[in-house]
Amino acid sequence: MKIAERLQEKKKFFSFEFFPPKEISGRKDFFVRAEKFAALNPCFASVTYGAGGSTQSGTLDIAEWFKRDLQIEAASHYTCIGATKETVNIFLEDMQKRGLKNIVALRGDAPKGQESLYDIEGGLCTAKDLISHIKDVCPEMGIAATAYPDPHPKCANIADDILYTVEKNKAGASFFLTQLFFEPRIYFDLVHRLQNAGCTADVIPGVLIIRNLAGVYRMLSLCDVRISGKLLCELESLHKEGGDKAVEKFGLEYAIKMSRSLLEGGAKGVHLYTLNRIEESRIIVDACSDLLK
């Protein structure tokens, strides 16, 4: 089933993002945990592609396993940076063979020193190019794309970022997953601006579970998202007093607070960046269970 169709059901939901274990040997343990994730009844699962050094080949195996063995609709991420139309087609054929009907179509980031990949003549250089290509060769595929509450670091200005996101919708993306962000208000601002610009697709907010201060610094530089001075100071002073344990406890409470605000404020669901961690995810879903109806 296309995930965009599932999103039309009335009930509010959580969905989960996973990354494939780096080593094949790590999969057994992942599968045991994934069964526990399935018990949390997510609307769908998405599996990253090559992000943070995770293996690319693992993406389809894990997505197929979610769909076939756990009966959870799964979306495979795919990045087109440096890919030819032929390599995209091979990935799509593999998805179809495995019965996978949903893709998160991404541009991806060029490795350092290979920035020329952003501009290959006749290549697929943006997510929008990829979405149009998928629509041409595989019209029955459900397509999701990214949206950025803090504008993407490469965008010229906020207005262009919004217009470009709307273009991805017109090209065939039927729902959006957002980049992580730290204030619910900027998600609702994004939704408002997209709707004003003619976007008809659902925009599902992505929520990160803060685990330690080093991770926050890494995310800030990697994704170029904004964090308020107040929140950063709070995290830094917690770290000073109680180390990573104190930050982790706060991070979990913050993810619950964010998820509740987003669901109460009108978001249809929350896409949890689970970092493959079951216990935190279970606590967050439980803490919001009264809103999941």
Ligand X SMILES: Cc1cc2nc3c(=O)[nH]c(=O)nc-3n(C[C@H](O)[C@H](O)[C@H](O)COP(=O)(O)OP(=O)(O)OC[C@H]3O[C@@H](n4cnc5c(N)ncnc54)[C@H](O)[C@@H]3O)c2cc1C
Between 27 and 152, name the residue whose CB sits nearer to ligand X. 152
Taking CB under 6 A as the rule, does residue 155 contact ligand X? yes
Catalytic residue among 9, 17, 23, 234: 17
Options 179, 259, 274, 281; binder of ligand X; rule CB under 6 A: 179
* Least distance from ligand X to the Cβ atom of residue 126, Å: 4
Kindly report the length of the chain: 293
Q: Is 206 helix (H, G, I), strand (E, B) or coil?
A: strand
Structure tokens at 204: 């599902």
Options 20, 50, 172, 251; binder of ligand X; rule CB under 6 A: 50
Between 39 and 90, name the residue whose CB sits nearer to ligand X. 90
Between 38 and 155, name the residue whose CB sits nearer to ligand X. 155
What is the size of the binding site for ligand X (CB under 6 A)? 24
Residue 17: active-site member: yes
> b vs e for 52-80, b when ≥16 Cβ sit within 10 Å of the residue's Cβ?
eebbeebbbebbbbbbeebebbbbbbbbb
Region of 225 on the Ramachandran plot (φ > 0 left; ψ -120 to 50 alpha; else beta): beta
Q: Which residue, judged by CB position, is nearest to ligand X in the bound state?
A: 155
- Give the CA distances from residue 193 to residues 91, 160, 226, in Å, rounded to whole numbers and listed in that order: 33, 11, 18
56 within 8 A of 85, measured Cβ to Cβ: no
Closest CA to 105 of 152, 55, 63, 142: 142
Q: Which amino acid does the sequence have at 36? A: K
Residues 93-152 that bind ligand X (CB under 6 A): 106-109, 126-128, 146, 148, 152
* Least distance from ligand X to the Cβ atom of residue 107, Å: 3
Give catalytic residue positions. 17
Q: Which residues of the chain form contacts with ligand X (CB under 6 A)?
A: 48-51, 77, 79, 106-109, 126-128, 146, 148, 152, 154-155, 160-161, 164, 177, 179, 206
